[in-house]
Amino acid sequence: MGIRMNGVVIDANDLDLLATFWSGLLGLEVSRRESDWISLGPHLALQLVPEQKTVKNRIHLDLVADDFAAAVERARELGAAPVDELREDLWQVWRDPEGNEFCLCLS
């Protein structure tokens, strides 16, 4: 029996807001769109949910940046905010425009 991961799905209250953010940050095109679902590329999707995010994510994306300073600038431009300072000179926790945590990591 083989099991493989197909992708990661992020809950969203505003699909267009998060699609603009994640596609802009990762350079992914919308590959599928429905009233309650947007796929970005082959392995990332956004799913419309009614509830607001209330606690820390139990899972998050680690994004490795070739140019950390440029990635930080782009994330800010798109509406993300850092949670804290750079840790161990390697990674920093951020929140997307709806509060979902992700890490920007140095390559």
Q: Pairing between strand 101-106 and 91-95?
A: antiparallel
Domains of the chain by start residue, with CATH: 8-106 (3.10.180.10)
Query: What pLDDT is attached to residue 8?
Result: 96
- Count other Cβ atoms within 10 Å, centred on residue 106: 15
CA 62/CA 92 separation, integer angstroms: 9
CA 11/CA 56 separation, integer angstroms: 13
Q: Which two tokens stand for residue 22?
A: 């994640």
* Digitized pLDDT (tens) for each residue of the chain, 107 residues in all: 799 999 999 999 999 999 999 999 999 999 999 999 999 999 999 999 999 999 989 999 999 999 999 999 999 999 999 999 999 999 999 999 999 999 999 98
Query: What pLDDT is attached to residue 17?
Result: 98
Query: What pLDDT is attached to residue 107?
Result: 87
Query: What pLDDT is attached to residue 1?
Result: 79
